[in-house]
Amino acid sequence: MNRDRQSRLVIAAAREIRDGELVMVSEPLGRAALALAQLTHAPRATALHPAGRVAGGSAGGPSMLTDLQGVMSLLQQGRVDLGFIAPGEVDRFGNVNSTRFEDPAAGAEFLLAGGPAADIACLARRTVILVAHSPARLKAQLDYVTGPGHGDGRGYRERIGLPPGGPAAIITDLAVLRFGDTGQAYLASLHPGVTVEEARAATGFELDRTAEVTATPPPTVQELNLLADVLAAASELTPASGG
C-alpha cells in the first residue's frame, strides 16, 4: 500500500473514533488513526494496547500500565468501545482471518499469530476492520475464521451467545464499507479519486448494491499536517501480530 493510499485509510479510520471512547489498538495503522483522532476531534479518547499500556489522549485521559490479563478483563467487562482489527482476510459479513492462509499453488498452509483479533471481534462494543483493498484480502470465502463479524448474517451473534456489536465498517485504501440490515457489506463511500468500478473490481465478494454510494470527505488541512508525524510515531512501536 503506497503512502497516499495509506493516508486515506488512516484518516477515514480516525473519523470512526468518538471522543471519550476506550479504543483497543494492536497494530500501526490503528495506532496512527487513534493518535490522529486524539489530536483533532477526540482528545479524550483513550488507547488500550494488548501489551498492557493504557494511554490517555491530548486532553489528559487516564494512563497506566497493566498486563494482558488486565487488558482482556476490560474486553470481557464490555468496557472497550471500539477495537481496530487489521486481518489478513475479511469476508462480506466482516468475519476475519489472521491465522491460517492456504496456498493451493504451493501446496502449503501459512500459520500466523492471530494476536488479539478473536477477543476484539467477539467482545468489543464495535469493531472497525482495516485492510488493503484487493480480491486477495476481501474474499468470498475465508481460509479460516479467527474472529466472527456478523457470521452468516444479522442475528448470528445473538444466536451463538456473543454480545451485540460486531463490525461497524471495513475501511480500505479505496473506500469505506458498512453493513446493512442483512449483515452484509455495502459500498458506503469512495475515497477521493476512486470510482465505483475500481472498488468493485478490487473486491472478492459481491457488494450489496442497494445503498447509495457517497464520497468520503476529503482530508482537512489539519489532518494532513498531522498525518506524517502520527504515522512515524505509530510505526516506531512494535506491533502485536495479527490484530
> Which of 43, 85, 49, 78 lies closest to 64, judged by CA?
49
Q: Specify the pLDDT at position 17.
A: 98
Predicted confidence pLDDT, tens digits, the chain (243 residues): 777 889 999 999 999 999 999 999 988 899 999 999 999 999 999 999 887 777 777 666 667 777 778 888 889 999 999 999 999 999 999 999 999 888 777 777 877 766 789 999 999 999 999 999 999 999 999 989 999 999 999 899 999 999 989 999 999 999 999 999 999 999 999 999 999 999 999 999 999 877 899 999 999 999 999 998 898 887 765 433 345
Backbone angles phi, psi at 65, to 5 degrees: -115, 130
Q: How far apart are CA 237 and CA 66, in angstroms?
A: 17
Model pLDDT, residue 239: 38
Domains within the chain, CATH numbers bracketed: 3-236 (3.40.1080.10)
Strand partners, 171: 130, 176
pLDDT given at position 189: 97
pLDDT at 179: 95
Yes or no: say if 18 and 45 are a contact pair by the CB < 8 Å rule. Answer: yes
| E strand or H helix that includes residue 214 | strand 214-215
pTM of the model: 0.90
187, 177 Cβ separation under 8 angstroms: yes
